[in-house]
Chain A
Amino acid sequence: MSQAAPTPTRVPMSAEVVERQQESSDVFTLRIRLTDPQLRQQYTFQPGQFNMVYLHGVGEVAISIVSDREDHTLLNHTIRAVGRATRGLEQLQPGQQIGLRGPYGRGWPMELAKGKELVIVTGGLGCAPVVAAITAVEQQRSEYGRLAIVEGVRHHQDLIYPDRFQHWRQMERTEVVLCCSEEKAAPWPWHTDRVTSHLQEMDIDLKNAVALLCGPEGMMVAAAETLLQQGVSADRIWLSLERNMQCGDGFCGHCQLGRYFICRDGPVFNWGEIGDLLKVKGL
């Protein structure tokens, strides 16, 4: 959970693109470094928080922070090129500068999850915001129980981070399940169905588990309902939500869902807080 971190400035800090990696046909990762050494040292974030990433002259987008295992001064942002800003960010080359402000929001409940089993269910690009949480588990492996990671994509070629998934499969007390829902046949070890089909058969004691969900909203709702049926309590099922975010700090009003400002009160919520709201279409 977010600790007493300094309030992030509302004006971006400059940052340099160190590396740009293509993850799939329209998904890429920018590895960036704050240019000011002092700000770089001061910057900390909690798994599940996000930054506002600024492309010069075009605007900002809210992107979750992917930690970098090798170098903590590098911030990774995995982005799908869908709009004007993200398509522009896709064109950046190492050495070019962007703006960054953050971190914003409430992240994953890493403290609450200590001593418990962990089920992480993600869909598509939803695996990006949980990377930092999995890294935190890896760094304090003895603090957490068994870990199950279930990732669903449409086609197995859509999977990003194959090296990370390979690494996670080799972590102790960790199980990785990969599903591709739109294929009739797929190479081993892929399953050709949805993530929700596998939540009962994990080698995990669900009654003592904390679940972290991230992906398309329909997938998260289906996964949450399956987990509820399996006896996971509503306050232990956590979801990372996405809405239009422009200020990042609860002022601009775009990301509201019921009583919540998703950017500030979330983006991570438990099912008890948000489940009813997610079931209403177009709220």
Chain B
Amino acid sequence: MGATSGVQFLPFKELELLFQQFIQAGYSIHAPQVVDGAILYSETESIDMLPRGVVDHQQPGHYRLTETGGSRYFSWSSALQGVKAALFPPSEVLWSAEQQAGGELDFTQVLAPQQAVALFGVRACDLAAIKLMDRHFLRSGAEDPWYQQRRANLLLITVSCSSASGSCFCASTATGPESESGFDLRLDELDTGFLIRSGSEQGEILQAQLGLKEAKPEQLAKADEQLHTVATQQQRAIATNDFRCHFTGQEESPVWQQIADRCLGCGNCTAVCPTCFCHREEEVPSLDLQGSLHQRVWDSCFSGEHSQLHGVPVRTGRRERYRQWMMHKLAGWHDQFGESGCVGCGRCITWCPTGVDLLEESARFVRDQLRDQS
């Protein structure tokens, strides 16, 4: 990256102008909105849909929004879902098969129409998650063409966090609350507007067109102080970023069964996790059976079908499935991709119906090991 335009100030009244620029440049805008009592990213053309003056309250198994009447657009921390669907939709057709009259089969790759998308209001944790998903889907030499096309058409506008929910712990995973890289434009919200800086050539062009003034030193200082406050506000922290040595030899630990006794196996955690990439592939045949669409659909390692082999699951119950999920997220990712698969968003904690807390449960392995050694 490299922010060469410097940091400028975008007053709230000019925000609509930024949206207009996205539209003029051919982008469709995906931005946070309140839908059915939760914040979700979906398409919009206007800033009026943004969740202004809305605060989120998150705790294990708990999520509520309240309206404060405040002027800020981003006084909430994380949306129900991150932005993974923009790159890896919950369901996506990969290719189609068509049977000709003579019985020949023709296969055609199906790529969604090219559409430039401006993803507005991405939080730091979700930006970190995109970097991780890039490692998986853009593996060198074997890039996933469907992800790759969406990724190439994505403009990322991040907003640093100015509040932390009860589930947030990005300060401990070093993935927030500040968005440090991987964005086209970065905003830091103050009471009357945003600090704006660019992180790419495309971002720089867009920023330059706004004709803004340089940010004042006191505005920069205020934004810094705000980031510091958010980091210290976080009540949760992950015990360590790399659990490999703590999970070694712990496959049969009684802790897994204790977690399984509370886990419903619903898969909510995997559905809201911004780095869970598992998907099943399935057929959607046409009614006349001549054509068939081959699609991928989000899947969860908490389902019996996920590990099914010859009709029988390899991971037979919640104990095995939770073990797979946590060991993969916090340890396996390091081996596979060189980093933890956890970005500290806290969604798996918030959206667990029984409030199973990833941090608390994973810390038991660190404590147990310390106790064993002493």
Contacts and interface: CB of A to CB of B under 8 A. Distances in A.
Contacts of B327: 258
A252 B278 contact: yes
A204 interface: no
A244 interface: yes
A221 to B, nearest CB: 14
A57 B106 contact: no
Contact of A7 (B142, B280, B301, B320): B142
B292 A56 contact: yes
A244 B94 contact: no
A10 B145 contact: yes
Contacts of A249: 142
A11 B95 contact: yes
B204 to A, nearest CB: 33
Nearest to B249: A276
A96 interface: yes
A283 interface: yes
B16 to A, nearest CB: 40
Contacts, number: 117
A7 B289 contact: no
A259 B335 contact: yes
A58 B314 contact: no
A14 B280 CA distance: 22
Contacts of A253: 277-279, 299, 301
Interface in A244-277: 244, 246-247, 249-254, 256, 258-259, 261
A62 B307 CA distance: 14
B93 to A, nearest CB: 12
A146 to B, nearest CB: 34
Given A244-B309, A256-B328, A10 B103 contact: no
Contact of B281 (A60, A256, A258): A60
A251 B309 contact: no
Contacts of B292: 56-57
Contact of B324 (A11, A60, A247, A283): A283
B139 A282 contact: no
Contacts of B106: 14
Given A7-B142, A59-B283, A254 B336 contact: no
B137 A56 contact: no
A14 B104 contact: yes
A252 B279 contact: yes
Contacts of B309: 242-244
B251 A280 contact: yes
Contacts of A283: 251, 314-315, 320, 323-324
B99 interface: yes
A59 B332 contact: no
A47 interface: no
A99 interface: yes
Interface string B76-107: 00000000000000000011010100011111
Contacts of A280: 251-252
A54 interface: yes
Interface in B118-141: 136-137, 139, 141
Given A82-B311, A244-B308, A254-B306, A95 B107 contact: no
A contact face: mostly helix, strand, loop, or mixed: loop
A259 B307 contact: no
Interface residues of A, number: 38
A283 B282 CA distance: 25
A27 interface: no
B307 A254 contact: yes
A147 to B, nearest CB: 30
Nearest to A13: B107
Interface in A1-20: 7, 10-14
A220 B311 CA distance: 21
Contact of B94 (A11, A13, A95, A256): A11
Nearest to A279: B251
Given A242-B309, A252-B281, A282-B314, A11 B109 contact: yes
A95 B299 contact: no
Given A14-B105, A97-B103, A59 B279 contact: no
Contacts of A11: 94-95, 107-109
A282 B312 CA distance: 11
Contacts of B4: none
Contact of A56 (B99, B141, B282, B323): B99
B218 to A, nearest CB: 48
A132 interface: no
Contacts of B332: 256, 258-259
A83 B335 CA distance: 33
Contact of B314 (A7, A98, A243): A243
A29 B91 CA distance: 34
Q: Give the residue among A95, A243, A244, A247 with the most B Cβ atoms within 10 A.
A: A244
Interface of B: 94-95, 97, 99, 103-109, 136-137, 139, 141-142, 144-145, 251-252, 277-283, 285, 289, 292, 294, 296, 299, 301, 306-311, 314-317, 319-320, 323-324, 327-328, 332, 335-336
27 contacts: A7-B142, A12-B95, A12-B107, A13-B107, A56-B292, A57-B289, A57-B292, A58-B283, A60-B294, A82-B310, A82-B311, A95-B103, A96-B103, A97-B104, A99-B97, A243-B314, A244-B314, A246-B280, A251-B136, A252-B280, A252-B296, A253-B278, A254-B278, A259-B335, A282-B316, A283-B315, A283-B320
Given A7-B142, A10-B95, A242-B309, 14 more contacts: A10-B109, A11-B107, A12-B107, A14-B104, A14-B107, A56-B292, A58-B283, A96-B103, A97-B105, A244-B306, A246-B279, A253-B277, A254-B299, A282-B320
